[in-house]
Amino acid sequence: MDLTRQRIVVTGGDGFLGRVLCGQLRDQGVPDSSIFVPSYPEYDLTDVEACRALYNNAFDGAPVDVVIHLAAEVGGIGANRENPGRYFYANMAMALHLIEQFRAMGLAKAGKFVQVGTICAYPKFTPVPFREDELWNGYPEETNAPYGVAKKAAWQMLDAYKLQYGMKSSYLLPVNLYGPGDNFNPNSSHVIPALIRKCCEAIDAGADHIECWGTGSASREFLYVEDAASGIIRAAEVMDDPTPINLGAGFEITIKDLIELIVELTGFTGEIRWDPTKPDGQPRRCLDTSKAKKLLGWEAKMDFREGLTRTIEWWRTVGAALQPLQGLSVDE
């Protein structure tokens, strides 16, 4: 599919990943007039009427050709523990209404629906590296299971709609994202922005230590936001069925080693104190990305150390001015 000739709706297009993805679409020649980003509260995507209005209004009545569904309600371990019902409902409702209205309004005959899922859909003890055929071999890690199950249900909906209605679609499973423009909000940030902010605040305050959740033994894989965006766009171009595809960087790092690296790169010289009464989350996360290479011809490009350096620099020069400095606890 030549995306430069399509009318594209990008839900969540004004978010962290969405801004980068829309920028890449423009760089590839998609005109601004062919990209529509629904905003809240004008379009509450958990409401079926709002989804119907979105498809009617996005391009002044002209049909939508592609939906790239990035919008989600998501947060770290703490936020997931506090909002399991909301996270399940919001993410399930958005996918349910957007996919069904895409079909009901006749857009599925020629269009395509691209759903971005989550690594949280994998079972808690998935063998490492995670392969896509392991998705149903167990229950997700408990703290983020409602969110993960809702995102996985969207994949099953797309698979069913492919079988019954011939809807073209794609389903991606990106690993934990990071990069400039990430969410550094202390109430909902993930592990990398939380740790960066914690170290920078500690330096500014002259603190002699920082406190971190868990034991540091859990491992994670991280994908630079620009790499994630390019993989999603590539899937929109070449995939017509929702076979799940991992998007990852092909490496694994423990949270302990991660915080030590961020401490080094930020210049914090104090003590790291771990709170083992707080949860570690899923024990390990690292993806097998061979399917992405085979089906999409895609591989991540950003060196992790360089990506972290760019993210830290963004926070110090831009991000910190956007959010008042205040203490926070690190979760993911």
Annotated domain spans of the chain: 3-178+222-247, 191-219+252-284+302-322
Contact by Cβ (8 Å): 278, 213: yes
Other Cβ atoms less than 10 A from the Cβ of 83: the count is 18
From CA 80, how far away is CA 235, in angstroms rounded? Answer: 29
Does domain 3-178+222-247 fall under CATH 3.40.50.720? My reply is yes
Cβ-proximal residues to 188 (8 Å cutoff; 6+ apart), any chain: 74, 75, 76, 79
Comparing CA positions, the residue from 175, 208, 177, 217 lying closest to residue 193 is 177
Tell me what the mean pLDDT of segment 244-269 comes to: 96
Residue 321 is predicted with a pLDDT of 83
Tell me what the mean pLDDT of segment 22-37 comes to: 98
pLDDT tens profile 260-292:
999 999 999 999 999 999 888 778 889 999 999
Position 323 confidence tier, pLDDT thresholds 50, 70, 90:
low
Q: What CATH number should be reported for the domain whose range is 191-219+252-284+302-322?
A: 3.90.25.10
pLDDT tens profile 210-228:
999 889 999 999 999 999 9
Active site residue 178: no
User: What is the reported pTM?
Assistant: 0.92
Tell me what the mean pLDDT of segment 26-34 comes to: 98
Residue 326 is predicted with a pLDDT of 42
Comparing CA positions, the residue from 118, 145, 89, 131 lying closest to residue 281 is 145
Other Cβ atoms less than 10 A from the Cβ of 245: the count is 25
Structure tokens at 114: 């691209």
Tell me what the mean pLDDT of segment 121-137 comes to: 94
Please determine, for residue 256, whether its predicted confidence score (pLDDT) is greater than 90.
yes
Which of 40-44, 66-70, 149-153, 182-186 has the least mean pLDDT? 182-186
Residue 332 is predicted with a pLDDT of 33
Structure tokens at 241: 């069925």
Of the two residues 330 and 296, the one the predictor is more confident about is: 296
Across all residues in the chain, what is the average pLDDT?
93
From CA 157, how far away is CA 161, in angstroms rounded? Answer: 6
Give the containing element (helix H, strand E) for 82. helix 77-82
| Annotated catalytic residue, options 43, 87, 147, 171 | 147
**Share of residues in the chain with pLDDT > 90 (%):** 83
Bridge pairing between strands 244-247 and 168-174 = parallel
